Structure 1
Amino acid sequence: MSLSLTAALAAAVASCTPEPRMDNSAHFALTEARVRLTGDQTYSMNLLFLDDAGSPVWDELGAVSLDGGVEVTGFEVVAGDRTDSGRLGNLMVDVEPGRDAVVQQVELRYGDTVQTHRIGRWQFVEREQTDPLVDAVDRYIAGYPSTDHFEAELTNTSDSTVALGTPDFGDILQPRAVLVDGAPMGDGLVEVGPDEEVTLRASFAPQESADFLVVTPVVPVHQADGTVVEVYLPEANLGMMDITDEDVSAIARR
């Protein structure tokens, strides 16, 4: 094939392919997330954004895709409050990663137009299905107005005494301090008898690289025979429960 014919074919293909571009109308919050899922588990990503009230995102969004090789199985746009900087919205993106993956960008398609936006860093980590020896009580808090702490009331559901280790929040969060029933946990273990309930609280340093955090806390549970079982608590969303004017201003600058 001649060089001129190759160039002509390339030009023809380019004219039929939507050209990705960075768009400044929509501004997505940056979320640091570490989500642990079993292999066949589906998940809905909640992407908060700010856009003009007249933007086509509310009624004309045709398709959504993600980087990192993560397939989108569905999406929904939920319109929120109006602010001085635009209208808040939630883009709910359904995925089924099936493996370890990292997502940092979302593409929005309107016909032949593609808008690419940064959304922070979402880590999907595949985990095994385990039987919980410790369970979160019905009063478990899944959403927090700030990113400075996490709290859970845990009950030993086994028939014997177990010892709780320091909770793991992934590499995105390192606790400054962990308290169990108000006492510092330190580097040791805390024994919990059968049906006994304890309150675990972890505090974190201020976050500068992200607006919101999403974590799947993991508590190592040590049994009498020396085995250790990782107990996965429900997902916790930090910072998204109370969107302040300062949050909106920060998102508008993205």
Structure 2
Amino acid sequence: MGKNLQSGDRLRPIDLARGHGLSTQAIRNYEEAGILPAAGRTPHGYRTYTALHARALRTFLALLPGHGHRTATSIMRAVNQGAADEAFRLIDESHAQLLDDRRTLQAVERALRDLEPSPVSEKPDVGPGLDSSPDGTFIGPLAGKLGIRPATLRKWERAGVVRPRRDARTGYRVYDEADVRDARLAHQLRRGGYLLEHIAPLIAQVRAAGGLEPLEAALHDWHGRLATRGRAMLAGAAELEPYIRERGPGAVTAGRYDPPA
């Protein structure tokens, strides 16, 4: 906002809204959601806000990019209710989620590095005509090569991770070179703790791109988004800490807060 506010200054909803490109209705909604402390009222019933409300609004808007609307709202509501410990728990959960996302990205990158071309000619031929096809390999040999059960490959197929065709003669599933690549990538990702519902979209990107190399740009973007979230969390914490102090002793329920390492 355009001036240094003193604790006794009285502000209208438009005064809070104008400095952040918000509507006065948004300010009222934030108050009703508990993001802002309850406003004072004039004798005629009009809302009045103070420097504390202005700081609350700045704090919420700083928390949004790193924590998202739902968590940022819950953090502010907890602080305004004097339950700072709950706010700290929510912050810890956001940091834990960010760390988990970083580990997932690392697992994906390891999987892509470890994934070597696996031409169909490398498939085991353990039986005449029933375990292999001129166009690929059947489910049993592929499952054996990956060290998983055929039922797992069928589950991956239902999830859209692999898309084998059916052999015209036997009706068996046939996995061509691209299917083997996708199955190996899925196997690496599962071992890295990547959720099955997240694997299918990644495999779809690999198929659409015609291989793994074009995913480098997506991985670079993923790194950037994680870094942006991390910086946003720092910015949000920088606004939240003085707001908690300004709320007074009643807002802090258990000593000082040590953010997660």
- Report TM bin, short chain: under 0.3
Task: Say which structure is richer in strand.
Answer: 1
Structure-1-length-normalised TM-score: 0.23
Indicate the structure (1 or 2) with the bigger Cα radius of gyration: 2
Task: Say which structure is richer in helix.
Answer: 2
